[in-house]
């Protein structure tokens, strides 16, 4: 692979990853609720979701889905519905904030992992990003699988670094400033923002 292209991909990926979005918002929320020691399943669940999406794009399955109007519409509806459902859940469900250094997490690691995985896997943003850049960078005369693997690992690695930074900042903020009432308001604002993301995706479908 051309390393200049790889550096360009990494730079563009960094901008795309650090931009506030559902994954960043979800990670910050969980870090504020549970603390940095409990948020690893969220970070790695997101990374696996991105890796699966990248593998699908590299295999050309997403191109087939986009070629079929109803399949692509179904995929978009799944993403919109999940974002909206997560936003509504933040608005109506109560979560207890623990400010202990070691917390008896009320959320199982499996639930944190699957929540983040589904959020990444059903968000068209990452898939469209892959689809936009892969054809520009992959060299068809060389091994596509190894090239795609490098790009996907790069994207997922940068996502882990970004979310780890977000969670560390949220943890510091949480220890110094956050109370249960402030966290409840943050959750409600987060819910509204996620519903807004869903509405934006819905408007783009028309």
- Tens of pLDDT, residue by residue over 91-110, are 887 766 655 544 445 688 99
Does a structural domain hold residue 34? Answer: yes
Which of 24-33, 46-55, 93-102, 114-123 has the highest average model confidence (pLDDT)?
46-55
State the residue range of the domain holding 30: 22-204
Which pLDDT score, from 0 to 100, does residue 178 have?
Answer: 65
Does a structural domain hold residue 130? Answer: yes
Instruction: State yes or no: pLDDT of 36 exceeds 70.
Output: yes
Domain count within the chain: 1
Q: Give the DSSP letter string of 121-180.
A: HT-HHHHHHHHHHHHHH--TTS-HHHHHHHHHHHHHHHHHHHHHHHHHHHHHHHHHH--H
100-126: average pLDDT: 78
Report how far apart, in Å, the C-alpha atoms of 4 and of each of 1, 123, 205 are.
Answer: 9, 28, 35
Instruction: State yes or no: pLDDT of 67 exceeds 60.
Output: yes
Could you tell me what percentage of the chain is helix, strand and coil, using 3-state DSSP and rounding each to the nearest 5?
A: 80, 0, 20
Could you give the 3-state DSSP secondary structure of residue 168? Answer: helix
Does a structural domain hold residue 9? Answer: no
pLDDT band for position 140 (cuts 50, 70, 90): low
Q: Which residue has the tokens 């910050």?
A: 28
29-41: average pLDDT: 87
First to last CA, the chain: 38
Mean residue pLDDT of the chain comes to 81
φ/ψ region of 111 (left if φ > 0, alpha if ψ in -120 to 50, else beta) reads: alpha
Which of 99-103, 107-111, 141-145, 158-162 has the highest average model confidence (pLDDT)?
158-162
Q: String of b and e for 148-179 (b: at least 16 CB within 10 Å)? A: beebbebbbebbbebbbebbeebbeebeeebe
Which pLDDT score, from 0 to 100, does residue 45 have?
Answer: 96
pLDDT band for position 206 (cuts 50, 70, 90): low
Instruction: State yes or no: pLDDT of 86 exceeds 60.
Output: yes
């Amino acid at each position: 692979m051309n390393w200049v292209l790889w550096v360009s991909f990494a730079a563009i990926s960094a901008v795309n990853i650090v931009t506030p979005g559902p994954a960043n918002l979800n990670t910050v929320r969980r870090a504020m609720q549970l603390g940095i020691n409990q948020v690893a399943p969220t970070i790695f669940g997101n990374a696996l979701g991105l890796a699966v999406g990248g593998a699908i794009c590299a295999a050309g399955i997403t191109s087939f889905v986009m070629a079929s109007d109803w399949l692509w519409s179904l995929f978009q509806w799944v993403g919109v519905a999940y974002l909206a459902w997560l936003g509504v859940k933040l608005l109506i469900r109560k979560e207890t904030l623990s400010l202990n250094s070691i917390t008896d997490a009320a959320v199982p690691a499996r639930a944190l992992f699957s929540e983040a995985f589904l959020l990444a896997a059903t968000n068209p943003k990452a898939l469209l990003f892959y689809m936009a850049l892969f054809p520009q960078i992959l060299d068809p005369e060389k091994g596509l699988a190894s090239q795609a693997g490098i790009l996907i690992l790069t994207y997922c690695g940068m996502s882990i670094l970004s979310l780890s930074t977000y969670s560390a900042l949220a943890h510091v903020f949480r220890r110094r400033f956050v109370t249960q009432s402030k966290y409840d308001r943050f959750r409600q604002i987060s819910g509204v923002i996620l519903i807004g993301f869903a509405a934006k995706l819905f408007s783009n479908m028309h």
